Structure 1
Amino acid sequence: MSRYLLDKFLFTIDRDPALVERYREDAAATVAWWEEEMANRILNCTSGERSTWLAFTDEERQALVAQDHVTLFRMGAHPFLTLTLFIAMFERDHGPLEYQKAYGKALQHLTLPYPDIAT
């Protein structure tokens, strides 16, 4: 499992409004595309340099496709990255702060120690 790769996915999708919409509309295709095309690109590298070894586990891929922020948090994905991305995707379907409250409520059953989210 790679917290780095989960966080990289959440970060890069959240920074591009077109990718946010793509992930909202077709999560499975977006995750597959991102893993194939983007996962092994080196951040902040303009030369096209790539690594070859990064890939999601089946569990990570399933949680990303399901857009399951609770499972992603349990796996160590940073909660601020999931929150900001999921607000961009789903807040429009709710009233003011309703989505944020539902996000927190879905996590309230978790107790300390939380997964390590150190970066």
Structure 2
Amino acid sequence: MSKYLLNKFLYTVDRDAELTERYREDPAALVAWWESELAGKLLNSIDAEQTTWLRLTDAEREALVAHDQVALFEMGAHPFLTLTLWIAMFERDFDEPLGMQLDYAAKLAHVELPYPAIDT
């Protein structure tokens, strides 16, 4: 498992409105595209230098495709990264103020200290 790669996915998708919408609409396609096109370039500044060892695990990929913030949190994804991305993708689906944030918190209410490590 690469918490770095998992968090890098969340970070890069959240910072690009087009990627955020693609992730909301077709998560499987976006995850596959991101992994094949961007993951191997993350540590390199030029296209000629790419790596093939950076791959999401099956569990990470499945959680990303399912938009499963609980599983992502349990794998060590940074909660601020998932929260900000989830706000961008799902806040519009809730009628009440802070509805998405309250739903997000309720889904993680079972988690007790110590939280999973979020360092990379």
Q: When the two structures are superposed, what TM-score results if normalisation uses the length of structure 2?
A: 0.93
Gap runs ≥5 in structure 2:
none
Q: Which consecutive residues of structure 1, in runs of 5 or more, have no partner in the other structure?
A: none
Instruction: Give distance in 2, aligned partners of 1:88 and 1:44.
Output: 28
Q: Which amino acid aligns with 2:74?
A: R
Give the CA deviation at 1:21. 0.4
Q: Distance in 2 between matches of 1:39 and 1:23?
A: 16
Distance 1:54 1:31 in 2: 13
Equivalent pairs: percent with the same residue? 64
1:26 aligned partner: 26
Higher RCO, Cα 8 Å, sep 6+? 2
Structure 1 stretches of 4+ moved >4 Å: none
For 1:101, the aligned partner's letter is L
**How much is the aligned-residue C-alpha RMSD, in angstroms?**
1.2
Decide whether the 8 Å contact of 2:44 with 2:50 is kept in 1: no
Q: Which residue of 1 aligns with 2:14?
A: 14
The alignment covers a number of residue pairs equal to 118
- Tell me the TM-score normalized by structure 1: 0.94
Q: Which residue of 2 aligns with 1:118?
A: 119
Matched residues in 1 for 2:104 and 2:43: separation?
29
